[in-house]
Structure 1
Amino acid sequence: MDLTGKEIAILVLRLLFGLVYSVYCMVETLVLTLIPRSYRRKDIRGNVTLVTGGGSGIGRLMCIKLAARGAIVVTWDVNEEGNLETVRQVVAAGGQCRAYTVDLCNRHAIYAAATKLKQEVGKVDILVNNAGIVTGKKLLDSPDESIIKTFEVNILSHFWTTKAFLADMMARNKGHIVTIASMAGKIPCNRLVDYCSSKFAAVGFDESLRLELQVEGKTGIKTTVVCPVFISTGMFEGMTSKIFPVLKPEYVADETVDGILLNTPIVYLPLSAKINVFLGLLLPQKVLYYLSEAVGLTHMMDTFVGRKKTK
């Protein structure tokens, strides 16, 4: 399509403004990093906060930490015993918490639980899609049912939970949707084809949803995606890494909660993981494979055993 002289002039002006705006945003980001976090955290007292997979691991830790900030916490987990233990710990620490046993593989169960939550607790202000599972096998060794369940828990449930609560947030132009993804959603890993695919989808879910909300003018609804490397919760038991640190659950929970309180769009854990993302964009595939081999990235799942099942 041919552009008129006026249209070309407008386009050039918009591009120039975009460059100026980019510089402004970079300076703003730099200034904000110099301001202590304590001055920038938002107040979530009284906010109804739902954490999926809150019956164990970082889900439980986030429930405790969010409740300590004054949030009214709700935990959804298929593990009823773990859910109740989370409630016990939150209440013992002086917080408010409710538990619902929910199968996140069943969208009808999610919608039913959402309706019950709204009736008994109130509209959700902060949604933390945290639940996740891993198979840890080569693609041809992964049962179809395991692949399906990985996607149902790690990404499809995000669609159902978000659809259940987003309309209320949009009506108020207020809310926060948090996606606990992984660096496996940015960097491919051997023996994690299904897991990486689901986490790549989770990253895309957050980025696309954020854009959609901006286009709709719902700037009061924030989104945060969290991309940690491996966490010592037992989920990746047996995995070995020469390059990635194995993160402590407390650290991940602290940084995730701060990401919520600071309205941070993307949280990389550790921050140095950003380097791997940049290298993935810049280097040829042959070089990336060579480096992955050199640092043992291609074999870190060879000794994987996963979390031990409890009775």
Structure 2
Amino acid sequence: MLRHPSCYEASEMSSAIKEIPAQLPKSFERSDEPWHHYFSIDIIWYVLGYTLFHPFVSWIVVLCLRAQHTPYGAPEMRIATAWAITMTAIGIFGIVSDRIAFGAPREVDLAEEVIVVTGGVEGLGGLLAETYGMRSANIAVLDIKEVDEDESEAKGVVYYKCDVSDAKQVEAAAAKIAEELGAPTILINNAGIVHPKSILDTTAEDVERTFRVNTLSHFHTIRTFLPYMLKEGRGTIVTVSSVLGHLGAANLSAYTASKAALLALHHSLRAELAQNPDAQDIKTILVTPGQMGTKMFAGLQTPNNFLAPIVTPADIGKDIIRLIEKGESGEIALPLYSRYIHFLGVLPVGIQQVVRRLSGLDTAIGQAGLVNKERSEKIIQQPHLTLGHCAPAPPSTTPLTNVHIYSTANKDLHLRASTSYSLPNHMPQPSSALHSIARRENPNVLEVKVLALQSLLIPFRVEDLPGLAAVSENLGTVVSLKTLKTGVHCGGCIF
């Protein structure tokens, strides 16, 4: 958290400014992509769901025909009535089916719930944690990454450093959460990693680490937190898997196998809870998203934006929160194709193979490296912006004079702005001082921080570099500052 330094006067800060750009980006910019880039079958399905396929709208059509004195025996009246009856029957059948499958919903009062999110520092987990934090819910995050106390307080989230692949660490964290926040009643298992390699290139360590984080962590957290839920007589367990758990994919063998295991774990958990009379108010939610727009798969382009659009964490998070707060069990699958992927298995094997080839599923990962390279080159070749400088490293006691602030877009990695400052050699707190300078002398610089919350906004000196292995890894960010090799220093780097 940036603070105002007390040891510098405003005049001294003003003299430290070397260069400030005349104008920083607007908060809303027209996308470089054509309009049809974002047009997908999901949009069509969404519109149809609230119009042609909605029972209420279907009956409105019937009423409109009657208002025109259309005879009951007229073909258009028969078709409209039959359609309205069909849509109504499908809607009722869906409600009855869900009630049979998942039982009656439980009552949920966020003030009485304690929510635990694994892998909640960034990505989908980070979004869920921050959303509940803003709503003043009791939210605890288990993550191997550490979070500054000031940031934790600002978000209203309590962070516990915990390797969820270690059962003992999970048990210790659970005891601490129960003591500080209360008995956990909502568990969102979200932690995950991926090693995009071929089977021959995947090491034993890669496989073991993937299964420990993606699969075994779910066993550890469920075994640890379920007793609290049984004691409270209520709870919700969310399992974040992947549509690739149904399909498998080339160059993702360890990841897809670990996600497939979660599908079996979820169904086994549901079966056990259904047989336990004390667990009728413990709900389960299975999440099987397609490709999400998080940095885990940054640079991976979907083979077909129309049929398989990239899903944002907000889309998935909204549905998760909706089911949790309605107190219902259920399954969440986005985009549209992931809801009906089960039907692929009933097709002849030859047709299945043709569908896989047409989808580009097995070639997308192999091409992702080229995509990342092309995007990186696109950034570096921006002629009107300075991307930092590299030179022989000065002595570690000499401050780095040119400090760069970068603001980037989350998905496309387009560089938005670069600001250069020169700090006094005696300045011990460049972050605080620079923030004050920016706010006093150029309000637009403060605007960068407000409008690009997921961007890197950290000035630094040479002596700061050894301790900055990863300065900023906020939700969706694509910028990080990594420790540089001896003999080189850099004013700002995009990786």
Please indicate, yes or no, whether the TM-score normalized by the shorter chain is above 0.5. Answer: yes
Between 1:141-150 and 1:270-279, the stretch displaced more is 270-279
The answer to whether 1:159 aligns with 2:219 is yes
Partner of 1:259: 323
Is residue 56 of structure 1 aligned with residue 115 of structure 2?
no
SS at match of 2:200: helix
Consecutive unaligned residues in structure 1, runs of 5 or more: 1-23, 34-39, 92-96
Q: Give the conservation status (yes or no) of the 8 Å contact 2:165–2:220.
A: no
- In structure 2, the residue matched to 1:275 is 340
Q: Equivalences for 1:1-311 in 2 at 5 Å?
A: 27=92, 29-30=94-95, 42-81=108-147, 87-91=152-156, 97-217=157-277, 218-241=279-302, 242=304, 243-262=307-326, 263-280=328-345, 282-305=346-369, 311=482
- Contact (CA 8 Å) 2:290, 2:334: kept in 1 or not? yes
Deviation at 1:72, TM superposition (A): 0.4
**TM-score, with normalisation over the residues of structure 2?**
0.52
CA deviation after TM superposition for structure 1 residue 71, in Å: 2.2
TM-score (norm 1): 0.81
| Deviant stretches of 4+, over 6 Å | 306-309
The code of the aligned residue for 1:145 comes to E
Deviation at 1:64, TM superposition (A): 1.8
Query: Kindly tell me: are residues 146 and 309 of structure 1, through their superposed partners in 2, closer, same or farther at Cα, counting changes over 3 Å?
Result: farther
Structure 2 unaligned runs (5+)? 1-88, 99-105, 373-477, 483-495
**Over residues 205-255 of structure 1, what are the superposed CA-to-partner deviations in whole Å (9 max), with x where a residue is unaligned?**
111101100011221100101111111111112322224211112222212
In 2, distance between residues paired with 1:103 and 1:247? 27
Q: Aligned partners of 1:85, 1:283: CA distance in 2, in Å? A: 54
Contact kept, 8 Å, 2:243 with 2:288, in 1: the verdict is yes
Count of residues in correspondence between the two structures = 276
Q: Rg larger in 1 or in 2?
A: 2
Aligned partners of 1:287 and 1:255: how far apart in 2? 32
Partners of 1:25 and 1:169 in 2: CA distance: 35
> Which amino acid counterpart does residue 364 of structure 2 have in structure 1?
M
Relative to structure 1, is the Cα distance of residues 202 and 84 closer, same or farther in structure 2, using a 3 angstrom cutoff? farther
When structure 1 is superposed on structure 2, of 248-257 and 56-65 the one drifting more is 248-257
Partners of 2:360 and 2:262 lie apart in 1 by 26
Taking the aligned partners of 1:85 and 1:293, their CA distance within structure 2 comes to 49
Residue identity matched to 1:126: I
Give, in angstroms, the shift of residue 287 of structure 1. 1.5
User: Which structure features the higher share of helix residues?
Assistant: 1
**What's the % identity of the aligned pairs?**
31
